[in-house]
Amino acid sequence: MEYKNILVNMLVNLGDVILTTSALDLIKKFFPYTKITALVKPVVKDAVIDNPVIDDVIIFDYKSKVSTFKQTREMISEIRRRKFDLSISFDRKLRPALLTFMSGIKKRVGPSKVFDDDTSRVTILYTDVIKITHDLNKTHQSETYQEIVRKFFNIEGHGTPQFPRTFSIKANELLSHFAPNKFKIALCVKGTFPLKNWSKEYFVEVVDALSIKYDAEFFIIGAPDDREYADEVIAAMKVDVKNFCGETSLTDLAEIFRKIDLFITVDTGSAHIAATTEVKMVTIFGCTPLSRWRPINPNAISLTSNEKCCPCKVKPENCPSYPKPNCLYNVKPEDVIKAAIELLDE
């Protein structure tokens, strides 16, 4: 059966939203005339509006573990009004599963597992539970999302993550601060939690070394809340580094990546945005497995120390080597410098 009007639940974080588009890319390859509508959080809307594999967007503004009857009722009415003939969930959250169930979508698909191996009662709300049998930590997360699609539609092949491409005045404005004949190197120094944050001192060593070898200029990108942390890193630098945290939209970032020479980053959502542009990049992994979360980019070098305790299952303060976790401190500045030189000298 070919479905004409699909709702996909993408109420996940930015990096996962981008990786789920690989599954939508696969659907579009086999069913190009199928309409795909994405259900997303407001913070990631720029990643899906005008995305080449997404036809429409529903923005669901809610806070985790907080809900109102009115808000839920309005969303159910909106979903019911659009008359979807299929919903696909790329996680096992209760809220979207209830929304699609109460909206009366007859075919509701979800995975047996997606982020961990634990069982979930949420799956009773699906009409079709897709059995995921591979080892999650040894399989790229995009492949897990695509496996849901492959098994349900009984298709084969692979998709690639997709991101909108729009003209960005802001990107041009920020890059105008730099001389056109110099290397432009961007940094992302802060992840979503402490065990993703590479040492500030290590970043300083990398920038100092690259500034000596190359005629280059540097800047840091990130969310508004990252600005103070970035300022602390910049304060220790021997060269001028600009702080653009909070000054760009997601599509601005993508255009910046298309115009620069190198991106050095921790494991975060912006790494997956950058990967879709194929910018040269070095990604530093700590407590998360590179095999599962590396950026899908032929011009990327991903670094990890392959600690036995990875993936980490404890809070940062319970890490035996905290506040200098081995998974981050064993990826040395010289490793990043070597990778950066390899990319810049190509």
Q: Is the model's pLDDT at 69 over the cut of 80?
A: no
For the ranges 149-163, 242-256, 313-327, the lowest mean pLDDT is seen at 313-327
Q: How do residues 82-91 score in pLDDT, each as one tens digit?
A: 999 999 999 9
The mean pLDDT of 189-208, rounded to a whole number, is 94
Domains defined for the chain, CATH in brackets: 5-153 (3.40.50.2000), 170-344 (3.40.50.2000)
Q: Is the model's pLDDT at 172 over the cut of 90?
A: yes
Q: How confident is the model at residue 64 (pLDDT cuts 50, 70, 90)?
A: low
Of 72 and 157, the one with more pLDDT:
157
The mean pLDDT of 178-187, rounded to a whole number, is 95
Residue 207 · residue 241 · CB < 8 Å:
yes
The mean pLDDT of 266-287, rounded to a whole number, is 96
Q: Tell me what pLDDT residue 67 has.
A: 57
Q: Is the model's pLDDT at 65 over the cut of 60?
A: no
Encode burial over 290-312: b for 16+ CB neighbours within 10 A, e otherwise: bbbbbbbbebbbbbbbebeebeb
Q: How confident is the model at residue 203 (pLDDT cuts 50, 70, 90)?
A: very high
Which residues does 299 contact at the CB level (< 8 Å), separation at least 6? 278, 279, 280, 281, 343
Q: Cα dist. 326→50, 194, 257, 329 in Å?
A: 41, 13, 30, 5
Whole-number percent of the chain with pLDDT over 70: 98
303-310, long-range: CB < 8 A, 24+ apart: 303/331, 303/335, 303/336, 303/339, 304/331, 305/330, 305/331
Q: Tell me what pLDDT residue 193 has.
A: 85
Q: Cα dist. 133→148, 160, 312, 316 in Å?
A: 11, 22, 22, 30
The mean pLDDT of 171-181, rounded to a whole number, is 94
Mean pLDDT across the chain: 94
Residue 36 · residue 24 · CB < 8 Å:
yes
Q: Find how far residue 273's CA is from the centre of its chain.
A: 7
Residue 300 · residue 275 · CB < 8 Å:
yes
- Residue 290, phi then psi, degrees to nearest 5: -60, -35
Strand, helix or coil for residue 238: coil
Q: Is the model's pLDDT at 256 over the cut of 90?
A: yes
For the ranges 57-71, 110-124, 255-269, the lowest mean pLDDT is seen at 57-71
Q: Tell me what pLDDT residue 66 has.
A: 56
Which residues does 1 contact at the CB level (< 8 Å), separation at least 6? none
Q: How do residues 314-338 score in pLDDT, each as one tens digit?
A: 887 888 888 889 999 999 999 999 9
